[in-house]
Amino acid sequence: MTYFKELSLITTALLFISMLLLSCAENEADISSSEPYVVDVYAAEYAFGMPSEIKSGWVTFRFDNKGKETHVAQIYHLEGDISFDEYRSILSAEPRQRVPHESVMGGPGLHTTGESSEITIKLEPGSYEILCGLVTEEGEPHAYRGMRKYFVVTDEVGAEQPPKPDMRIALDEYHLTIDGELQGGSQTVEIDGHHTDFDLHLVTLEGASTVDEAFDYFSDLRDPTRAKILGGVEEGHTSYLTLHITPGDYIWSSQEYGHFGMYEKFAISPEGKQILKGDASGDTEQIDVRVKENAIEAPGELFSGNKKVAFHTDDSQTHQLRFASLKEDFTREDYLKIMQDRQDGISNNDEWPFKGYLINVDPITADNSESFTLRLESGNYLLYCAEDDQEGVPHRLSGEMKSISVK
């Protein structure tokens, strides 16, 4: 009896499997268009390996950093779809000429040595260049040592659909909007980077590595790094990042604006579930900044957290505000002195008072206000106008500068 029962179970199982196989075969024609079109790219010191001709549509770059150093692979659409011969003659020109870029398409972000990931972006037919924007210890761009390569995207479409995402991240102005959670295993993240200023990277925080160490690497991009960067997407359009996620501590971080809170920590449990680390957004405080001739009205002290900052002016001039995070040992006076020295031709390039990038607020006038959202961590910040008046005196020296201390 037992024997028969088992046999019938096996028969049922076999039937079920063959039905599954049949239904897969039937659907094959329908799903073939969603099969990824994969292009292998590797990076090493100092070269990229990839085909010189690829298909258009949604292209999945399987990027592998086989080098000993950190590398990145930015993809640019070339202006006028120049030919390989034109490209080559630009590169060999003396003095050095700029390769004309039509637009940045994104591409594989920073990868620490040995790391690999897949990045899917949409490419139109035309001519392109892939290049590494990092510099050697001696300060020479990797691109000048050979890490740039011309390639053509043909009319033939490789994949019409992007991969199906497991979660989404929108890179809004200076903050991350995260929709969904990651799990252990292979995961695909849709990254909406239509504001082309922002990149996004996934960093592991293993052992002694901390968020600050990740930001330290991001501010000068010089190896060695204790922050292990698993990959990411460079600025531009919509990208899909596919990675293998294992249990551990992670941060999503923008290289340029991580110092302004454009990062999110999380952990993956041994069971492969995402654990949030308590940085989850919370309330957003509204801050109004009003620029007057010779003054900036804004709160001098704030508590850390999410802020929506709105910039207005009533006067007849255009103001271009900059917002910067001061390094620990630097003050507003240090910044003014560095700027004065530069103006006087006493250049001291090693000294720079700010952490990483500045926030550039779009120009404001009486008719045009601007706003953005960001997360402020404790520290000292400077808000100033980068415009000059008719006599060439910077607005910041006429009082358009405000120190903001965040507790």
The site for Cu ion (CB under 5 A) is made up of 71, 132, 134, 142, 147
Cα distance between residue 301 and residue 48, in whole Å: 49
| Shortest separation between residue 95's beta carbon and Cu ion, angstroms | 23
Q: Is 391 exposed, middle or buried (0-12, 13-18, 19+ CB in 10 A)?
A: exposed
* Closest by CA position to 232, among listed 402, 24, 72, 397: 72
| Shortest separation between residue 119's beta carbon and Cu ion, angstroms | 16
Nearer Cβ to Cu ion (122/222): 222
| Shortest separation between residue 133's beta carbon and Cu ion, angstroms | 8
| Shortest separation between residue 44's beta carbon and Cu ion, angstroms | 9
Q: Is there a contact between 101 and 78 (Cβ–Cβ < 8 Å)?
A: yes
* Closest by CA position to 128, among listed 156, 150, 103: 150
**Long-range contacts of range 272-278, CB-CB < 8 Å, 24 or more positions apart?**
272/183, 272/184, 272/185, 272/245, 272/247, 273/181, 273/183, 273/184, 274/181, 274/182, 274/183, 277/249
Q: Is there a contact between 43 and 63 (Cβ–Cβ < 8 Å)?
A: yes
The label of the residue with tokens 């600050």 reads 212
Nearer Cβ to Cu ion (113/320): 113
Nearer Cβ to Cu ion (144/330): 144
Q: Is 399 exposed, middle or buried (0-12, 13-18, 19+ CB in 10 A)?
A: middle
Q: Is there a contact between 84 and 184 (Cβ–Cβ < 8 Å)?
A: no
| Shortest separation between residue 134's beta carbon and Cu ion, angstroms | 4
Strand 148-159 versus strand 126-131 pairing type: antiparallel
Nearer Cβ to Cu ion (142/175): 142
Sequence letter at residue 24: C
| Shortest separation between residue 151's beta carbon and Cu ion, angstroms | 17
Say which DSSP state 364 is in: B
| Shortest separation between residue 135's beta carbon and Cu ion, angstroms | 8
Nearer Cβ to Cu ion (134/358): 134
